[in-house]
Amino acid sequence: MTKRTLAAGLVVLLTALPMRAGFHDVAHAIGRRPGIHRVTIPLLGLIRFGVWIVHPKGVYDFQLATFEGRGGNDAEELAAVFRERIGAGYRPLVQVRSARNGELTLIYAKPLGGDRVDLFILSRDRQDTVLLRVDADATVAAEEVARQRINVRVRRR
């Protein structure tokens, strides 16, 4: 009787929990692509712990994964893997793909409540791919972007 009750409770709990992909799901999916391998970053856990305590520039948490290797030449395939595994609630902010050299940058955001926002960033250049998730204060992030004086040249086709 207790085993049945426990099993029923576990089934109810698992169906009640939101099933969404996270950072590790996206990183694992990218790392499984042929020709790409994950590069470990020494002491990243210690740095992340420091960010939890200090909150520099309004950053509350971050996760970072770096990969080496080309893993095929199709940036759209990598973008599709990212979009498929990122989970619910994220909306695209920036989507840039270079047809000439295959570089790719995707920035997706999800509001977390209050002034906090979750940013999911995927960037790929010739041989390197970087996946970053940042839980940050949206106001501080917007002020930081506004303070930068970056000139962007947009090329029309």
Stated pTM of the model: 0.74
Closest CA to 90 of 70, 75, 112: 112
Q: What is the mean pLDDT of residues 123-140?
A: 89
Give the number of residues written for the chain.
Answer: 157
Q: Is 26 strand, coil or helix?
A: helix
- One-letter-per-residue 3-state SS of 87-144: CCCCEEEEEEECCCCCCEEEEEEEEEECCEEEEEEEEECCCEEEEEEEEEEHHHHHHH
Question: 70 — alpha (psi -120 to 50), left (phi > 0) or beta?
Answer: alpha
Q: Is 83 strand, coil or helix?
A: helix
Averaged confidence pLDDT in the chain: 79
pLDDT of residue 133: 94
Residue pair 87/118 in contact by the 8 Å Cβ criterion: no
pLDDT of residue 20: 40
pLDDT in tens, 53-83: 988 888 999 999 999 987 665 778 888 888 8
d(CA 113, CA 125): 33
